[in-house]
Structure 1
Amino acid sequence: MKVESVRWKQHGKQLDVPAEVAYKELLQVKKRNGGNLTPDDVVESAKNPESVMHAWFTWEDTEAARKYRLMEAGALIRSIEIVYKEAPKMERRAFEIQYKKKTGDVESRTVYKTAEEAASDPDNHARLIAEAVRTLMAWRKRFAALQELHHLMVAIDQTIEQIADKEAVG
């Protein structure tokens, strides 16, 4: 398939260069490394201050280590699952994101609540539904070319439509 356009993912971190420029640099890194693109190779290439990807990374080691530990802490929180007696085959996260709060120009603060607290709060419940819909749409988009998943795609479309209908009425 031929690439029609390249853009930054919405609601994500972006560089101050067009996505196409970063994409081309990533393709160059891939080419230099035998057709493989790895995070190690990207970091190595981005070390050069002339690289368009350089600004993506935190190069001050103390700050980078702190940010990494925060990412690890979030991964730890998201790694704990609970199983209810009533549904022993349905593991779920023990903690859900309650909200993300901006604490400055660069960082955000993520607050987690237990799954029960998150589900019982109407605002958070609506946020969880919206997040589920976004995740389903992203999954659908990613695997749209796989004909074997057609029935799942139809079910996703129907579910999203039902949710939209409920929101329009409610």
Structure 2
Amino acid sequence: MGVRYAWKPGSRINLDAEKAGRELEDIRKQSGGALTQEAVVERARSANSVLHSHFTWEDAEAAEKWRLSQAGDLIRAIVIDVSRSNVEESKLLRAFVNVEQKGQRHYTSTVVALSDIDLRAQVLRRAWEELEAWRQRHAELVEFARVFSAIDETKRA
């Protein structure tokens, strides 16, 4: 049985997954078994690489994209403490969540999103999607069988 490559659901990568997967595997093998981001970028520099078109090679544009990526990292990393007293153990909650309104994706306060019926439904739907994606990534781990059963039970309820 051969390996077949595909992009995970929701992925926005506009490359042939089969060709990209084979090239990534080739890079891994040529790098002594370790696939690194540096090795991928180095291979992708060649216009002949299947991976080349995925990257932004114009430096000013790439720098701006990197800053936008850093801004996203910053937004996703900030949390708020929602514990109700100084005695209670800290309860950390993401400060902002990604939602869609009027056809545009953006971040909004988690507290606001969870207080709005439509936004809460979006947050819950995304949480289920992420949980299912985690489950698929770790489906081969029998040690999580009870967790998988709990997920199924919760979803039915």
Q: Fold-level match, TM-score > 0.5?
A: yes
* Gapped regions of structure 1 (runs ≥ 5): 103-108, 163-170
Kindly state the Cα deviation for residue 99 of structure 1 after the two structures are TM-superposed.
2.2
> Which shifted more, 31-40 or 139-148?
139-148
| Correspondent of 2:58 among 60, 65, 78 | 60
TM normalised by structure 1 equals 0.83
Moved more, 5-14 or 82-91: 82-91
What's the CA shift for 1:6? 1.8
Distance (whole Å) between structure 2 residues aligned to residue 27 and residue 100 of structure 1 = 39
Which residue in the other structure is 2:37 paired with?
39
Q: Distance in 2 between matches of 1:101 and 1:50?
A: 40
Q: Is the 8 Å Cα contact of residues 99 and 108 (structure 2) preserved in structure 1?
A: yes
Structure 1 residue 9: Cα displacement: 1.9
Superposed CA deviations along residues 98-136 of structure 1, whole A, max 9, x for unmatched, are: 32777xxxxxx6421111111112111111111011011
Instruction: State the distance in 2 between where 1:150 and 1:16 align.
Output: 34
Assess if the C-alpha contact under 8 Å between 1:30 and 1:36 holds in 2: yes
Which residue does 1:146 correspond to in 2?
141
- Count how many residue pairs are aligned between Structure 1 and Structure 2: 154
Q: Distance in 1 between matches of 2:2 and 2:131?
A: 24
Does 2:20 match 1:25? no
RMSD over aligned Cα, in angstroms?
Answer: 1.9
Q: Deviations over 1:70-124 (max 9, x none)?
A: 110011011111111236343110111132777xxxxxx6421111111112111
Distance 2:116 2:2 in 1: 43
Q: Distance in 2 between matches of 1:11 and 1:60?
A: 26
The residue aligned with 2:152 is 157
SS class of match (1:88): coil
| TM-score relative to the length of structure 2 | 0.89
Q: Does 1:118 align with 2:113?
A: yes
Q: Which amino acid letter does the alignment assign opposite residue 76 of structure 2?
A: R
For 2:101 and 2:63, the matched residues in 1 are separated by 21
Q: Tell whether the 8 Å contact from 2:15 to 2:51 is kept in structure 1 after alignment.
A: no
Q: 1:5 to 1:56 in 2, by over 3 A?
A: same
Residue pair 1:15, 1:53 contacting (<8 A) in 2 also: no
Q: Deviations over 1:52-82 (max 9, x none)?
A: 0000101111111101101100110111111
Moved more, 8-17 or 152-161: 8-17
Question: Letter of the aligned partner of 1:85 in structure 2?
Answer: S
Provide the rounded CA distance (Å) in 1 between the counterparts of 2:47 and 2:132.
37
- Secondary structure, counterpart of 2:89 in structure 1: strand
Question: Among the aligned pairs, what percent are the same residue?
Answer: 39
Counterpart CA distance in 2 for 1:16 and 1:24 is 12
